[in-house]
Amino acid sequence: MNTSDNFLHSTEAIGKQIELRLQKLIPESPKSLYDPIRYILGSGGKHIRPVLTFLASQSDQSADWFPAACAVELLHNFTLVHDDIMDNAKSRRGNPTMHNKYDVNTAILAGDAIIALAEESLASGKYKFASEMMSEFAFAFRSVCEGQAYDKEFEMRNDVTTEDYIRMIDLKSAKMLELAAVLGAYSAGGENVELVRKFAHHTGIAFQIRDDLLDLVADETSFGKTQGGDISEGKRTYLYVTAMKSFDTLEANDQELLLRIQAKHTIEHDIHHAIKLFTHIGVIQKAQEAIAEQTTIAKKSLENIHNSEVREGLSAFGEYLLGRMY
């Protein structure tokens, strides 16, 4: 059994507990509102964010991390529902997206209700730092919306830099992992808040760059999303932004490919062309180097966490999350 398998096995029970608790949070009616929410929450996923909340809370093993973990998972699913609508995505986790299974209006309303359920869950916890935790939740909620706004704005821009990209994924992706870790630390009494925040921040940056990479090179069935979806949608990913730095030195057909991606005018063959180009000009390697750099910073932040249960749990979490390459 490899590291990923060990981690999944050790946290499997946590995921199941989260699933059961989430289902209990959902009212029975109106079914037109809550059945779609049951659908998205039951459509799979590894519950990595609530697992992170649990791991960050283990300096006090009696900590009531459940309400916070459920709030994080609900907020995450809200982002999936609304992002899929905005991206016109057809599938998620190997299943039809909510707006495809139902309709756009239903998905919008369900997404809004998911946020209400998340706030109810977090408010139900008996926390010493309840005010700070609600503030962290609100900030993360606003941040992911800002990140999505930048993501969509970048699709209309031709001058997106690597720094722009990092700022966007910090808001859209890393803040969610930060929230999960920080709420866990607060639920255990507030120890290690800034250390776990730093760990989660850099792990989140690495995770999103890895996600960009997997979008292009991973097996579609295992990944749960259409291969090359970011290219088809004209996304300004780490790979694309890095490739554009070499635009003036590329051959005409490669320049035309990048311009088609930019204009969202790609064809099916362009996915294979992009893989070949990004490999040839070193973009794939640069992405892997960026992942390694962020991972190193994340690991170093754990050195100052004195509680071995927290330190070792977060270390295993990082190895699992950043080692996935299916």
- Whether 71 shows a pLDDT value over 50: the answer reads yes
What Rg do the C-alpha atoms of the chain give, in angstroms?
A: 20
CA angle 237, 36, 40 (to 5 degrees): 40
> Is the Cβ–Cβ distance between 185 and 52 less than 8 Å?
no
Rounded Cα distance, 122 and 124, in Å: 5
Kindly report, residue by residue over 172-205, the tens digit of the pLDDT: 999 999 999 999 999 999 989 999 999 999 999 9
- 316, two tokens: 């295993």
Q: Please choose, from the candidates 317, 277, 257, the residue with its C-alpha nearest in 3D space to the C-alpha of residue 48.
A: 317
Number of domains in the chain: 1
Mean pLDDT, rounded, of the chain = 90
Kindly report, residue by residue over 295-318, the tens digit of the pLDDT: 999 999 999 999 999 999 999 999
Residue 131 sits in a domain whose CATH number is: 1.10.600.10
**Identity of the amino acid at 142:** R
Half-sphere exposure of 158 (CA within 13 A, CB side): 7
Which range marks the domain in which residue 90 is found?
A: 3-323
Rounded Cα distance, 139 and 175, in Å: 9
Give residue 201's pLDDT. 97
Residue 219: band (very low, low, confident or very high) from pLDDT cuts 50, 70, 90:
low
Tell me the mean pLDDT in the region 290-295: 94
Give residue 5's pLDDT. 61
Residue 226: band (very low, low, confident or very high) from pLDDT cuts 50, 70, 90:
low
| Beta strands 95-96 and 91-92, pairing class | antiparallel
- CA distances, 122 to each of 33, 77, 113, 225 (Å): 21, 15, 14, 30
Rounded Cα distance, 164 and 29, in Å: 43
> Is the Cβ–Cβ distance between 121 and 25 less than 8 Å?
yes
